[in-house]
Amino acid sequence: MFWKFNLMSTSQIDTILDGPDVTLYTLLDQEDILQECKAQNRKLISFLVKEENIKELVRLITEEPPEDIEEKKRFKYPNTACELLTSDVPAINEALAETEENIQKLYDFLDSETTLNPLLASFFSKVMGLLIARKSEMTLEFLKNRDDFVGVLLKHIGTSAIMDLLLRLLTCIDSLDVKKAMIEWLNKKNLVQRLIACLTPEYDEDIHSNAAQSLTDIIRLGREQIVNQQDNAELLTAVEQEENIQQLLDNMLTSQRCESVIVNGLSVIQTLLEFKKQGQVLTQIS
């Protein structure tokens, strides 16, 4: 008989939140926390957006977990924290961006002299990507006020998640005005020239590969912007400048020739030539 079944099941999270002494970690241990968060469970969201809880979620994705924890469980909380912070729930977005302390904590993770943990870097990149997309103008102003953000970013360009972050800066902003301002600022900070400078024998292959990939992304994005008649191609123009192409060739053909520099440099030149070829075809058609 159907009345024997409880059709109004209550989330375990609601039960926990109704109880005494609820903690963030008690909730992080619940398997359905992400589902409830994305469903915008009011009680859960109200708890998560408390200043101390947002601060702890940010800490989890920016600090190495203790090494005495079983490897399988070490990154359980950081992973869940990242998923919560990037769930794109408006109240969480607002709470994250509300205080500069949270953004500074994120930035401090990047502004490190030590090699970044790749997994934490991926969490960091995702959260910064959300801020870039949802709080574009605020994020741009914050980054402009840091000392040499481009240098800090490129210091870790060998980490794939940081290369992804650079791409997010170029692609995840919806406002055309803010996107244009971002591209103009990165161009003024000599992003292209500094990426080319990464293609030298003194750096390792990961840096060569990711710097070259970033340059090819810039070329392809610039091509799309021209096709879409958007006035945001300053970085593409910088790549095409004679002195920058000459510098790339000099890096490839230096007396200390490095196979990785040559191979990755050629990938950039090939992408440039493809762009030129397509441009010529479009001109002929028109």
Closest CA to 214 of 226, 202, 206, 224: 206
Helix (H), strand (E) at residue 139: helix 136-144
| Euclidean distance between CA atoms 162 and 108, whole angstroms | 14
Exposure on the CB side of residue 209, measured as CA atoms within 13 A: 8
Structure tokens at 171: 């692609």
Q: Per-residue pLDDT for the chain (286 aa), expressed as one digit of tens each?
A: 444 444 344 678 988 998 888 999 999 999 999 999 999 999 999 999 999 999 999 999 999 998 888 877 889 999 999 999 999 999 999 999 999 999 999 999 999 999 999 999 999 999 999 999 999 999 999 999 998 999 999 999 999 999 999 999 999 999 999 999 999 999 999 999 999 999 999 999 999 999 999 999 999 999 988 877 777 789 999 999 999 999 999 999 986 889 999 999 999 999 999 855 444 444 433 3
**How many whole angstroms from its chain centre is CA 273?**
28
- Domain residue spans in the chain? 24-181, 190-286
pLDDT score at 285? 36
What does the pLDDT read at residue 286? Answer: 39
pLDDT at 254 (0 to 100): 82
pLDDT in the model for residue 10: 60
* Spatial separation of the C-alpha atoms in residues 106 and 54, rounded to whole Å: 12
Distance CA 2, CA 16 (A): 28
Q: What is the pLDDT of residue 64?
A: 93
Sequential DSSP letters for 192-251: HHHHHHTSSTTS-HHHHHHHHHHHHHHHHHHHHHHHTT-S--HHHHHHHSHHHHHHHHHH
pLDDT score at 227: 79
**What is the tens place of the pLDDT at every residue in 62-74?**
999 988 888 778 8
